[in-house]
Amino acid sequence: MLFKRDKPMDERTLDHLAESAADLIFRSKKIVAFTGAGVSTESGIPDFRSPGGIWDRFDPDDFTYQKFVGSADARRKQWQLLWKDRLTETVQPNPAHYAIAELDRRGKLDCVITQNVDSLHQTAGVPDDKVLELHGSMRRVLCLQCGRRYPMAEIKKRLYDGEEVPGCEACHGILKPDVVLFGEALPDAVFSEAAFRAEHCDLFIVVGSSLVVYPAAQLPAYAADSGATLIIINLSETPMDRQASILIRAKAGEAMTRIMQKLAKKMNG
């Protein structure tokens, strides 16, 4: 096992581990990439849970699913303070997103399982049907009554035009960003599919996740218990580090770009 616990690694170590990771990818047939906040933050999207993140500025108890559906005042607070400026149309994929999309173009990627809600994997070129969004997507808004979905851009326009609590135009039901709020369960179908993919892959690559948010953090264990090889790319320690065959302490974009450069040389002969 290649194992390292300290701070971001030096160039020689990163290069060596990237070469080893590229070897594993080259030999693999069905790869699952599992991505967390460490991928989104490299596109300038603030993290919710890390120091200096969203929950350092807001109390998460004010943003639960129960409060959202139970109080118009709570919905107003959430829309105006949290969701109105959460994502902008100028946010773009970063090298980690493009590297994962390259895995798909090279026929190696089974799917991406992501904890992120920005849909940047699709923007980078991963087909929508290969992206399992465990926590939903901020690109969509859902009516809790009739199930109609709206593009977030349409709802943001209504907010900026002065509508404080947008409602469904079809049935006047409650509109909610199509993401999983505190106190709300993950969608059963999405998680079940993610678990199935994890249990049937031969290589599971964690990119930018500390693996502390459950039940999503169980998925690498499902893969490892089913015989898959595990690669972890993350700046901080994770509970699964000792199960990883390759552990890379580096930024997601830097590590994935280096790995894909190595892989290209192997696949191009």
175 SS3 class: strand
- Please tell me whether the peptide bond between 215 and the residue prior to it is cis, using omega within 30 degrees of 0: yes
Give the Cα separation of 22 and 17 in Å (integer). 9
Catalytic residue among 16, 97, 121, 135: 135
Distances (CA, A) of 118 to 7, 43, 47, 97, 101: 28, 10, 12, 11, 15
Report yes or no: 91 and 101 within 8 Å, Cβ to Cβ: no
Q: Is 135 a catalytic residue?
A: yes
208 SS3 class: coil
Give the Cα separation of 207 and 268 in Å (integer). 25
Catalytic residues: 135
